[in-house]
Amino acid sequence: MYVRRLELTDFRSYSRAEIDLDPGPSVIVGPNGYGKTNLVEAMGYVATLSSHRVSSDQPLVRVGAERAIVRCAIVHDERELLVELEIVPGKANRARLGRAPVTRARDIVGALRLVLFAPEDLALVRGDPAERRRYLDDLLVQRQPRYAGVRADYERILKQRNALLRTAYLARKVGGTGGRTGDLSTLDVWDSHLAQHGADLIAGRLDLCAALGTHVAKAYDAVSAGRGEARVGYDARSWLESGQVSLDRVAIAERLGEALSAARPSEVERGVTLVGPHRDDITLTLGEMPAKGYASHGESWSLALALRLAAFELLRGEGIEPVLVLDDVFAELDTGRRDRLAEMVAAASQVLVTCAVEADVPRLLAGERYVVGEGEVRRGR
């Protein structure tokens, strides 16, 4: 799969940009703050309906404009598919697939498969569990789009359940909020739905973690030239105190249900849901030590990179080869790691590399060249 053309209107710093792209490696070069990341962010948004940098849509729309439009021509199996996305902050996105509008923007998920590595990914190793959950869930959705629904349902159920607990909590503390009572008679219902949908999500994550394991180890080994073994594990800390994690959805739902019952007094006491996949984590280890808190800067960077490369390899191995984007990755790596990374990805169907200093990019990836200037992108030497 590759992106043949990208068109932006009022996206970030661009009032208008049109870029024709080729398969294989390409380098996008330009000074700091000229809009390299903005370009790849737009493609990432089409792939996942979210930005890798911000959680709200407002910053994606050019200051002074009302809406941003991203258009992508995607080539897969020699067939071209046009995807158009209109981003209006505070409103639901509108999308088109081919020439036809789709009912929900999330129907376009899956049209563009893309794996993006960016400096923000250092947070996969050093940041909060939420970063790692997002990595896993985003990949889950790319691999099996059905999980977009599972994830949205789970989040909605969690929100409703939290609202119920919170109302009861406030009713107890201050004696009712605007006539709302602390009626917990529907809590059992929310528990069972949380357990069902939570188990669905967890089963997907566990399956994914298992599939990722060897890819992460291999990618880290390749980038680091054998300096330490990288491992990923699923940390079901909120609902499994000890013992083996079962892969079976029914068993997980049962276990979640038990954990919810056990946690109920403290949940009611604190007015928030303490059990479920929204509290889980992935453990990352290098050799015998946890990566977080122990790994060096370069090692953390390489591990974060290995997580993205593993995602790429996994998707590639299961059928549709995604587009690979490496945003500002080379400047942080030593020469050996740079060259080994280049070797790993040079054969990909499309690799887009951004950099401020062209000399940082290994020769092997010097394919087509794009120069980002003031608000425009030029192709050529």
Ligand X SMILES: Nc1ncnc2c1ncn2[C@@H]1O[C@H](COP(=O)(O)OP(=O)(O)OP(=O)(O)O)[C@@H](O)[C@H]1O
d(C-alpha 225, C-alpha 362), whole Å: 17
Query: Whole-number minimum distance, CB 10 to ligand X, in Å?
Result: 8
Among 21, 109, 199, 329, binds another protein (CB under 8 A): 109
Q: In the range 141-180, which residues lie near another protein by CB under 8 A? A: 144-149, 153, 156-157, 159-161, 163-164, 167, 178-180
For Mg ion, which stretch binds (CB under 5 A), given 16-24, 31-39, 313-321, 362-370?
31-39
- Give the one entry of another protein, ligand X, Mg ion, none that residue 35 binds, where binding means its C-beta sits below a cut-off of 5 to 8 angstroms depending on kind: ligand X
Q: Does 93 bind Mg ion (CB under 5 A)?
A: no
* From the list ligand X, Mg ion, another protein, none, partner contacted by residue 72 (C-beta under 5 to 8 A by kind): none
Distance CA 27, CA 368 (A): 6
Residue 38 interacting partner from ligand X, Mg ion, another protein, none (CB closer than 5 to 8 Å by kind): ligand X
Is 376 among the residues that bind another protein (CB under 8 A)? no
Q: How far is the CB of 209 from ligand X (least distance, A)?
A: 31
Contact pattern from residue 175 through residue 194 relative to Mg ion, giving x for each residue in contact according to CB under 5 A and a dash for the rest: --------------------
Q: How far is the CB of 367 from another protein (least distance, A)?
A: 32
Q: Work out which of 1, 21, 27, 35 binds ligand X, going by CB under 6 A.
A: 35
Minimum distance between the CB of residue 372 and ligand X, rounded to whole angstroms? 6
Closer to ligand X at the Cβ: 17 or 109?
Answer: 17
Binding residues among 115-144 for another protein as defined by CB under 8 A:
144
26 or 167: CB nearest another protein = 167
Among 237, 311, 222, 342, which Cα is nearest to 279's?
A: 237
Residues contacting residue 52 through CB under 8 Å, at least 6 positions apart? 41, 44, 116, 118, 120, 121
The residues binding ligand X (CB under 6 A) are 12-13, 30, 32-38, 59, 61-63, 328, 356
Contacting positions for Mg ion (CB under 5 A): 37
Please give the residue ranges that form the binding site for another protein (CB under 8 A).
102, 106-107, 109-110, 144-149, 153, 156-157, 159-161, 163-164, 167, 178-181, 183, 185-186, 188-190, 192-193
